Structure 1
Amino acid sequence: MTVTQYIENLYDRLKDHLHEDYLDLYPVPTTSSLRLGSVFSTLHHNFLESFKLMNSRLPTGETCGAHFWADASRDLIALIDQTEELQTTLKSTELAFSLEPYYLNVIEQCKDFLSPSGGSTIPPQMRKIELYYTQPIFLLKNTISLGRGMEQTACELKLIGEGSYAQVFRYRDLNYDKYFVLKRAKANLNDKELERFKREFEQMKGLNSPYVVEVYRYDDEKKEYLMESMDDTLFHYIQKNNTKLPEEKRKNLCRQVLRAFSHIHAKGLLHRDISPTNILIKEYEHLVVAKVSDFGLVHLPDSNLTTCHTEFKGYFNDPVLRLDGFDSYDIQHETYALTRLIFYIMTGKTNTDRISEGAMKAFLQKGLHSNRKERFQNVGELQQALKTL
């Protein structure tokens, strides 16, 4: 059986229960396999339905689990088997795909406890599952062009922000009926500044994380690139909602930010411009997602773009950097800024001097310690400390 025949067969098996609400997330690279988009969309829908049902039993306690019903367990087992069969069949073809890392981890976790009979016992300490309504779960390894790109002659650009290096515009793409953001380098940048601007795009493109703002295409001639449109900054989101944000939602935002920086640091990168204005917010119907942006000061191993005269930026950064020089920035400076960011998310405050509550006080004392060796040494330590707040 050919790959096309296999996909057609799978499509036929699903056709009485097709769901194409997520079809726009799954463009496919060959006209002979257009059915695959419908298959992905349907599997995506089915995973969300299964996980929504499981979320009604989550989170589980520290020491006790929860019962997940027999029919629901069998449905999820069948869905996972169907997905793995599809992945194996397409493994060596142009349609090979992987699962989004967060969902892959959730599925592997579910495989450990799902039972085909009598229902399943969800283990202790399992959190609610984040539901992806506008992000793909299945990631094609051979991607295709996004289409018209910068050729938006009839679209009005609205200036929404401006920094040292670039202006940021928002516009509605009538072809997709969707907003995008265009970031354009200023005309007066020197070669080094333009190199840093393009490097920002390249690093964001390479990170490929649901917690990093997605970028799409760089135009060398116009010195600009496209990125996804977000709804707000973390700073404004917290300010607007501070009186009504429950602790668990705050912690969930913290966990998302720390997942992003765990991924960033695993790539050997340091962001160096951490602040609540450089974390952006996307609000979905049932979920709020925090995404890291503004990688203009990102530090790469062996980079020569930072000197001791580089301007001090990032208002959550360690003030000692003003004396030591920005070229001395290391992981303990990154965890310093992340400590302040977590404090802001959890409290809505930026002044860390008037905290008397025990757990938060201890958290700040360690994270902001004057001796860098006494601070959190990596994101993993921050993730553990967050559990105590």
Structure 2
Amino acid sequence: MNIENYIEAQYRELLSNSTTNAEFSELYAGVEHAKLREILATLHHDFISLFRMMNERLPTKDYEAHFWADPSRSLIKTIEITLGLYNALKNTKLAFEINEYYSGLIKKCRDFLSTSGGSTIPPHMDKIDLYYTIPLFTPNSIVTIDQPQTTRSFSLKQIGSGSYANVYKYWDTFYDKNFVLKRAKKDLTPKELERFRREFDEMKEFSSPYILEVYRYDEAKNEYIMEHMDYTLDSFIQKNNSSMATGLRKSIVNQILRAFEYIHSKDRLHRDISPKNILLKEYHDIHVVKITDFGLVKVPDSSLTTANTEFKGYFNDPSLVVEGFDTYNILHETYALTRIVYFVMTGKTNTDAIPNLKLREFVNKGLHPDKSMRFKTTTEMIQAFRTIS
């Protein structure tokens, strides 16, 4: 299907029944496609106008009521255009979601609306809430933020994708800075969605300068906002490895180890340690490390930690493939952290030949095949790392 042609056809179809209306255009200011923006604002206006008329005809208790023929046909047409657009655009960059409350209303109305002779409104139908300041349609390419005295929409740019979620960034014109939006994928199972929500709750509960800040969870859309960082550890090392001073490398390692010392002090294990889940913010005088992606965090007595959890984290101990991810413990965590330390100090992942004797001793202990010989705490790792010059 040619999307541009389809939008044009719906635009003309809408104009054949009404005129475009700008009353709600501010709610859709973040929609970049001009005609789609007009269509959504006009559909919003038409729904409000028609549902206002329906409110005047609502039955009481066990009685039915008659809804006139012309508004019945207009509401049918408005619903058809809305659902047609929704289905046509849902796998494109112009995809949008219909407000949950109004989506339910649309389904209910389709059951009783008639194209001729008017429609019979069923008994016990509740008065419809008319949304004047809340969008009925939320494009997936924007985020809508409630801010002091107004609601603002901002365009999203996708910057990543994982097993459970897509990650976007946007520029907030009110705060004049970038933020990040993490949005759960639509096909998650209830258990996966629970894990996604728990990731937010865990990060919100942490209070450390080394943990990425999260700000708001949207229950209706299953998404949350967090602070924006400049690099993943992976991208920062790739860009700067040839010019990084030892002092900067050691500063990054110390921050990472302090972060995990804090995480472990809260009886949590991250379980997905990799250079992509460690972020950096570049200031004029310092680089600050923050840990993110707690989707696999191990919480004591959690029902979400099972033997069937997929092995993830390419810095993880390969023995977990055989032993099972449910056996993950602090000795697996220090294994992954050892690999991170070596990666930061050298920019390499291959540990076959390490010229620095103290670094070699550190790595050999952290990656020891006999788990009883490994670092048993992050504090022990911090103390051992101090001996590396």
Instruction: Identify the TM-score tier after normalising by the shorter chain.
Output: 0.5 to 0.7
What percentage of aligned pairs have identical amino acids?
Answer: 56
1:295 match: 294
Conservation of the 8 A alpha-carbon contact between 1:280 and 1:291: yes
CA pair 370-186 structure 1, distance change in 2 beyond 3 A: same
2:347 match: 348
Conservation of the 8 A alpha-carbon contact between 2:146 and 2:152: no
1:224 match: 223
1:169 match: 168
Conservation of the 8 A alpha-carbon contact between 2:280 and 2:289: yes
Conservation of the 8 A alpha-carbon contact between 2:214 and 2:227: yes
What is the one-letter code of the residue matched to 2:363?
L
The Cα shift of 1:148 comes to 2.5
CA pair 253-152 structure 1, distance change in 2 beyond 3 A: farther
Matches within 5 A, 1:257-272: 257-272=256-271
1:309 match: 308
CA distance in 2, matches of 1:364, 1:152: 52
Secondary structure of the structure 2 residue equivalent to 1:281? strand
Conservation of the 8 A alpha-carbon contact between 1:272 and 1:314: yes
Secondary structure of the structure 2 residue equivalent to 1:197? helix
**Residue deviations 1:277-328 (CA, integer Å, cap 9, x gap):** 1000101111100110000000000011121111100000000000000000
What is the one-letter code of the residue matched to 1:191?
P
Conservation of the 8 A alpha-carbon contact between 2:183 and 2:224: yes
Conservation of the 8 A alpha-carbon contact between 1:279 and 1:293: yes
CA distance in 2, matches of 1:228, 1:301: 27
CA distance in 2, matches of 1:281, 1:303: 30
CA distance in 1, matches of 2:224, 2:277: 18
What is the one-letter code of the residue matched to 2:189?
N
The Cα shift of 1:231 comes to 0.5
Conservation of the 8 A alpha-carbon contact between 1:260 and 1:291: yes
What is the one-letter code of the residue matched to 1:375?
R
Conservation of the 8 A alpha-carbon contact between 1:359 and 1:388: yes
2:364 match: 365
Matches within 5 A, 1:4-153: 148=147, 153=152
Conservation of the 8 A alpha-carbon contact between 2:212 and 2:227: yes
**Residue deviations 1:135-160 (CA, integer Å, cap 9, x gap):** xxxxxxxxxxx9629x8653111111
Segments ≥4 residues shifted beyond 6 Å: none
CA distance in 1, matches of 2:386, 2:266: 25
1:115 match: none
Conservation of the 8 A alpha-carbon contact between 1:158 and 1:171: yes
CA distance in 2, matches of 1:216, 1:156: 18
2:193 match: 194
CA pair 325-152 structure 1, distance change in 2 beyond 3 A: farther
The Cα shift of 1:275 comes to 0.6
**Residue deviations 1:369-388 (CA, integer Å, cap 9, x gap):** 11111100001110011111
Structure 1: state its 5+ residue gaps. Answer: 1-145
CA distance in 2, matches of 1:314, 1:293: 13
CA distance in 1, matches of 2:211, 2:293: 10
Matches within 5 A, 1:199-210: 199-210=198-209
What is the one-letter code of the residue matched to 2:221?
K
The Cα shift of 1:356 comes to 3.9
CA pair 280-256 structure 1, distance change in 2 beyond 3 A: same
1:284 match: 283
CA distance in 2, matches of 1:178, 1:147: 16
What is the one-letter code of the residue matched to 1:163?
G
1:43 match: none
Matched, 1:378 2:370: no
Structure 2: state its 5+ residue gaps. Answer: 1-144
CA distance in 2, matches of 1:254, 1:152: 41
Conservation of the 8 A alpha-carbon contact between 2:279 and 2:292: yes
**Residue deviations 1:202-239 (CA, integer Å, cap 9, x gap):** 11111121111100011111100000011010111011
The Cα shift of 1:355 comes to 2.0
Conservation of the 8 A alpha-carbon contact between 1:336 and 1:375: yes
CA pair 358-157 structure 1, distance change in 2 beyond 3 A: same
Conservation of the 8 A alpha-carbon contact between 2:181 and 2:223: yes
Equivalences, count: 243
The Cα shift of 1:340 comes to 0.3
TM score, norm. by length of structure 2? 0.61
**Residue deviations 1:229-273 (CA, integer Å, cap 9, x gap):** 110101110111111111111111011111111110011100000
CA distance in 2, matches of 1:334, 1:172: 35
1:247 match: 246
Conservation of the 8 A alpha-carbon contact between 1:152 and 1:173: no
Matched, 1:213 2:212: yes
CA pair 247-152 structure 1, distance change in 2 beyond 3 A: farther
Conservation of the 8 A alpha-carbon contact between 1:312 and 1:326: yes
Conservation of the 8 A alpha-carbon contact between 1:310 and 1:327: yes
TM score, norm. by length of structure 1? 0.61
The Cα shift of 1:348 comes to 0.4
2:274 match: 275
CA pair 220-258 structure 1, distance change in 2 beyond 3 A: same
The Cα shift of 1:177 comes to 0.8
Secondary structure of the structure 2 residue equivalent to 1:295? coil
CA distance in 2, matches of 1:147, 1:385: 48
